[in-house]
Amino acid sequence: MTPATTLPVARPVAIPLREILPWALFGGLLLMLGIYFVGVEEGAVAMFKGMYVHEFVHDARHLLGFPCH
């Protein structure tokens, strides 16, 4: 009989918080910016003149449940 061999077990590598935190903040900032453009950018308090951004994200507004008309 041949002796049983065991395969090495791969252990997950721990990622330090200081490496994740900048990416998490960047992702959160992008998320908040996206929510602003989809949910708030309507003309009265708009960052951009005209209704270009509103019309560009119009279907996304309805998909996410933001009223606009």
What is the average pLDDT value for the chain, to the nearest integer?
A: 82
Please check whether residue 61 lies inside any domain of the structure.
Answer: yes
Please check whether residue 56 lies inside any domain of the structure.
Answer: yes
The percent of residues above 70 in pLDDT, for the chain, comes to 90
CA dist 50 and 44 (Å) reads: 10
pLDDT tens for 15-48 read 898 999 999 999 999 999 888 878 777 766 677 7
**Domains: count for the chain:** 1
Which residues, other chains included, contact 56 with Cβ-Cβ below 8 Å and sequence gap of 6+? none
Please check whether residue 55 lies inside any domain of the structure.
Answer: yes
What pLDDT is stored for residue 8 in this prediction? Answer: 85
What pLDDT is stored for residue 44 in this prediction? Answer: 65
Averaged over 38-62, what is the pLDDT?
A: 75
Please check whether residue 51 lies inside any domain of the structure.
Answer: yes
What pLDDT is stored for residue 50 in this prediction? Answer: 72
CA dist 68 and 35 (Å) reads: 14
